[in-house]
Structure 1
Amino acid sequence: MKLLKFFTSKAFWVSVIVAVLLVVIGAYLALQWLGKTTNHDQKIAVPNIGKLTSEQAIKVLEESKLQMVVLDTLDFDKNVPPLSIVEQDPKANSFVKENRKIYVKINAATYKDVIVPNLSELTYRQALTTIVSLGLKEGKKSYRTYIGKDVVLQVLQNGKELKQGDRIKKNSVIDFVLGDGRATLSEEELDVAPEIE
């Protein structure tokens, strides 16, 4: 009986109304505060900074009240200016809020160095597979008298002989001097050949 009397009392209903009003007012104030601190209605279009240098991109982004963060330097692409922006995230014309970080990837200044492996005495096909896997390009082939047909005798770049361990730029053109398979061993060379047991 006392419980029923409490639920019907004026003090109970005043407390309920005050509690509901406090929750509603608190929620309203919280939403207003969040709207102002998170810039809820603010939209800034992300500018296209592709192919700009990092200095130019920083200026463009600062004018839009955005920040730039470099994530990575990608392999050199000759179709894009050196040290310029290759990729950006978020993409151009996306809408973001003020002070948003724009993540970018930059084109390298030049091709990376590649260490020349030992290619002598390999077949041309083996050597070609090796240089292509390193990012080098096939150049001219010339032949010299040698017993092994299409065996690599020399590797050249711009007429200069390359040795194992030399450093050259990726995407360089490599020329080959190959055996023509026409040489034969003389009897003297056959006599000197080691015996196989």
Structure 2
Amino acid sequence: MSIIKFLTSKVFVKQILLAVVAIGVLSFMALKWLKISTNHGDFETVPNLTGKSINMAELELKDNNLVMQIQDSSNFNPDYPKFSVIDQDPKPGSKVKENRKIYLTLNPSGYRNILVPNLEDKTFRLAKSTLEALEFRIGTLTYVDNIGKDIVIGLKYQGEPINPGDKLPKTSVIDIVLGNGNRP
């Protein structure tokens, strides 16, 4: 039997038609199964959790059949209470599937501590820019007798001397002791 006669035979055409019908039926059944098993068209709306405590956020997510996942703490934001939600992903109002993880970013308990740099014998201008770059604030400037005019003699925090390497909360007010250019 030649290949052309085989391809035009009733047996071959019948087998091809059966294969096409079988693929069509299996595809239809797979699509129906996927629609049922994935809850196609059923969505939950993500609530707005910004500013809420962890416990309130967890309760609200459970009520909406969603799962809480704490992603990380961010930089301290004084506009929100400690340990409250300051960001979430997906955003509020988004439509998601049931049991979807909602990633939350929390407000830490306070500003993080930053190492105080060694600024002794540096100029006031350098000390000021360095402290401000680290997000410290400059407090009172005190001048003492020292031959170096506007040279940093020491740093103080809340009236107490601080040393290089000490840790202070970000945005702390640091007082600077400077030389006035007079001989001691």
TM-score by length of 2: 0.89
> Offset at 1:132?
1.7
User: Which structure 2 residues correspond to residues 142-181 of structure 1 after superposition, within 5 A?
Assistant: 142-181=142-181
Amino acid across the alignment from 2:161 = E
> Offset at 1:100?
0.9
Once residues 168 and 68 of structure 1 are traced to their aligned partners in structure 2, the CA distance between those partners, rounded to angstroms, is: 33
| Residue 127 (structure 2) aligns with | 127
What per-residue deviation string (whole Å, max 9, x for no partner) do you get for residues 2-45 of structure 1? 65655555444433332222111111100001111222211111
| Residue 190 (structure 1) aligns with | none
User: Which structure 2 residues correspond to residues 16-55 of structure 1 after superposition, within 5 A?
Assistant: 16-55=16-55
Call closer, same or farther: CA 1:9–1:114 in 2, change over 3 Å. Answer: closer
> Offset at 1:63?
1.0
Amino acid across the alignment from 2:156 = L
3-state SS of 1:146 partner: coil
Amino acid across the alignment from 1:151 = I
Unaligned runs of 5+ in 2: none
Once residues 105 and 114 of structure 1 are traced to their aligned partners in structure 2, the CA distance between those partners, rounded to angstroms, is: 21
Once residues 10 and 128 of structure 1 are traced to their aligned partners in structure 2, the CA distance between those partners, rounded to angstroms, is: 93
| Residue 106 (structure 2) aligns with | 106
Unaligned runs of 5+ in 1: 186-197
Amino acid across the alignment from 1:146 = N
Once residues 128 and 9 of structure 2 are traced to their aligned partners in structure 1, the CA distance between those partners, rounded to angstroms, is: 95
Once residues 168 and 161 of structure 1 are traced to their aligned partners in structure 2, the CA distance between those partners, rounded to angstroms, is: 12
Q: Name which one, 1 or 2, has greater alpha-carbon Rg.
A: 1
Call closer, same or farther: CA 1:147–1:18 in 2, change over 3 Å. Answer: same
What per-residue deviation string (whole Å, max 9, x for no partner) do you get for residues 99-149 of structure 1? 111112211111111222222221111111221222211112122222211
TM-score by length of 1: 0.84
Once residues 30 and 158 of structure 1 are traced to their aligned partners in structure 2, the CA distance between those partners, rounded to angstroms, is: 71
| Residue 183 (structure 2) aligns with | 184
User: Which structure 2 residues correspond to residues 11-90 of structure 1 after superposition, within 5 A?
Assistant: 11-90=11-90
Once residues 101 and 94 of structure 1 are traced to their aligned partners in structure 2, the CA distance between those partners, rounded to angstroms, is: 13
Once residues 111 and 25 of structure 1 are traced to their aligned partners in structure 2, the CA distance between those partners, rounded to angstroms, is: 62
Percent of matched pairs sharing the same residue: 38
3-state SS of 2:14 partner: helix
3-state SS of 1:40 partner: coil
Once residues 6 and 163 of structure 2 are traced to their aligned partners in structure 1, the CA distance between those partners, rounded to angstroms, is: 99
Once residues 92 and 156 of structure 1 are traced to their aligned partners in structure 2, the CA distance between those partners, rounded to angstroms, is: 45
Q: Is the 8 A contact 2:145 2:183 kept in 1?
A: no
Runs of 4+ aligned structure 1 residues displaced above 3 Å come to 1-14
Once residues 74 and 12 of structure 1 are traced to their aligned partners in structure 2, the CA distance between those partners, rounded to angstroms, is: 68
